[in-house]
Structure 1
Amino acid sequence: MTSPARHSLIWTGTYTPDGGGRAEGIGAISASDDGTLEWLGTAAKADSPSFLAVHPTLPVVYAVAEQAGTVQAYRRSGEFGLEPFGDPQAAGEAACHVAVEALARFVTVTCWGDGQVLLYELDRDGGMTGRFAAPASVDPHGSQTPGEPRQSRAHASLMLADGRVMTTDLGHDSLRVWRFEPGTGLIADHEVALPYGSGPRHLVQHTSGSVFVVSEYSVEVFVLRADAGTFELINRGPATSGGSLPGDSAAEICLSQSGDQAYVGVRGSNLISVLLVGADGAEVAPLADFPSGGDWPRHHLVRGPWLHVAHERSDDVATFALDASTGLPGPLVQRLQTPSPTALVPAN
Structure 2
Amino acid sequence: MTDATTLPLWIGTYPAPGAAPGSGEGIWYVAVDTADGSVRSERLATTLPSASFLALHPSGRTLYAVSETSAGTLTAFRLEEPGPDGMPVPAVSGSVPTGGDDPCHVLAREGDAWVANYGDGVASSVAVDPATGDLAAGSVATHPGAGDGPVADRQAGPHAHFVADAGDHVLVADLGADVLRRYPAAGAAAGAEGEIAAVLPPGTGPRHLVELPDGSLVVVGELDARVHVLSREGDGWAPASSTPVCAGADAGSDFAAHVTLSADGSRVHVGVRGSDVLAVHRVRYLDDGAPTLEHLADVPLGDGAWPRHHAVVRVGHGADETGAGTELVVVALQGRSELAGVRIDLATGAGEVVSRHRLPTPPACVLEA
After TM superposition, the score normalised by the length of structure 2 is 0.84
Change (3 A) 1:134 1:284: farther
Question: Equivalent residue for 1:13?
Answer: 12
Instruction: Please name the residue that 1:156 is paired with.
Output: 162
C-alpha separation in 2, matches of 1:85 and 1:158: 25
**268, 288, 296: which is aligned to 2:306?**
296
Secondary structure of the corresponding residue to residue 185 of structure 2: strand
Q: SS at 1:217's partner residue?
A: coil
- Give the whole-Å Cα distance in 1 for the aligned partners of 2:222 and 2:78: 33
Change (3 A) 1:207 1:319: same
Whichever residue aligns with residue 282 of structure 2, its letter is L
Instruction: Return the alpha-carbon distance in structure 2 between the equivalents of residues 40 and 312 of structure 1.
Output: 17
Distance 1:198 1:100, change over 3 A: same
Cα distance 1:301–1:13, how it changes in 2: closer, same or farther (>3 A)? same
Aligned-partner Cα distance in 1 for 2:12–2:337: 12
Q: 1:282 to 1:120 in 2, by over 3 A?
A: same
Q: How does 1:225-304 map to 2 (within 5 A)?
A: 225-244=231-250, 246-279=252-285, 282-293=291-302, 295-304=305-314
Identity of aligned residues (%): 30
Equivalent position of 1:56 in the other structure: 58
Report the CA distance between 1:206 and its aligned residue: 1.4
Tell me which residue corresponds to 1:178: 183
* Matched letter for residue 99 of structure 1: L
Contact 2:210 2:219 in 1 (8 A): yes
1:299–1:260: structure 2 CA closer, same or farther, 3 Å change rule?
A: same
Displacement after TM superposition at 1:8 (Å): 2.3
| Distance change (3 Å), C-alpha of 1:274 and 1:319 | same
1:174–1:193 contact (8 Å) kept in structure 2: yes
Letter in 1 for 2:103: A
Task: Give the deviation of 1:233 after TM superposition.
Answer: 1.7
Q: Whole-Å Cα distance in 2 between the matches of residues 270 and 75 of structure 1?
A: 35
CA distance 1:250–1:277, change in 2 (3 Å): same
Structure 1 counterpart of 2:346, which letter?
A: A
**What does the per-residue CA deviation read over 1:204-263, in whole Å, with 9 as the maximum and x for residues that have no partner?**
111121111101111111111223322222222211132226432111111122211111
SS in 2 for 1:313: helix
Describe the shift of the 1:200–1:21 C-alpha distance in structure 2 as closer, same or farther (beyond 3 A).
Answer: farther
Task: Give the corresponding residue for 2:174.
Answer: 169
Closer/same/farther in 2, CA of residues 140 and 332 from structure 1, 3 Å limit: closer
Find the counterpart in structure 2 of residue 308 from structure 1: 330
Residue type of the alignment partner of 2:28: G
Where in structure 2 are the equivalents of 1:16-55 lying within 5 Å?
Answer: 16=15, 23-34=24-35, 35-55=37-57
Amino acid at match of 1:265: G
1:335 paired with 2:336, answer no
Conserved? CA contact 1:11–1:28, under 8 Å: yes
Counterparts of 1:144 and 1:109, CA distance in 2: 24
- Cα separation, partners in 2 of 1:8 and 1:289, compared to 1, 3 Å: closer
Q: 1:343 Cα deviation (Å)?
A: 0.6
Alignment partners' CA distance in 1, 2:349 and 2:23: 33
TM-aligned CA deviation for residue 327 of structure 1: 3.4
Q: What is the rounded CA distance, in whole Å, between the counterparts of 1:167 and 1:5 in structure 2?
A: 37
Q: Which amino acid aligns with 1:14?
A: T
Q: Determine helix, strand or coil for the equivalent of 1:41.
A: strand
Q: 1:19/1:229 Cα in 2 relative to 1: closer, same or farther (>3 Å)? A: farther
Q: Give the Cα separation in 2 of the matches to 1:232 and 1:247.
A: 27
- Structure 1 residues 19 and 292: alpha-carbon distance in aligned structure 2, compared to 1, 3 A threshold: farther
Shift of 1:14: 0.6
Equivalent position to 1:71, from 71, 74, 83: 74
2:309 aligned partner, one-letter code: H
Q: Which whole-Å CA distance do the structure 1 matches of 2:264 and 2:151 have between them? A: 42
Partners of 1:228 and 1:262 in 2: CA distance: 25
Q: Are 2:148 and 2:158, in contact at CA under 8 Å, matched by a contact in 1?
A: no
When residues 319 and 114 of structure 1 are mapped into structure 2, their CA distance, relative to the original with a 3 A threshold, is same
| 2: CA distance, partners of 1:171 / 1:134 | 18
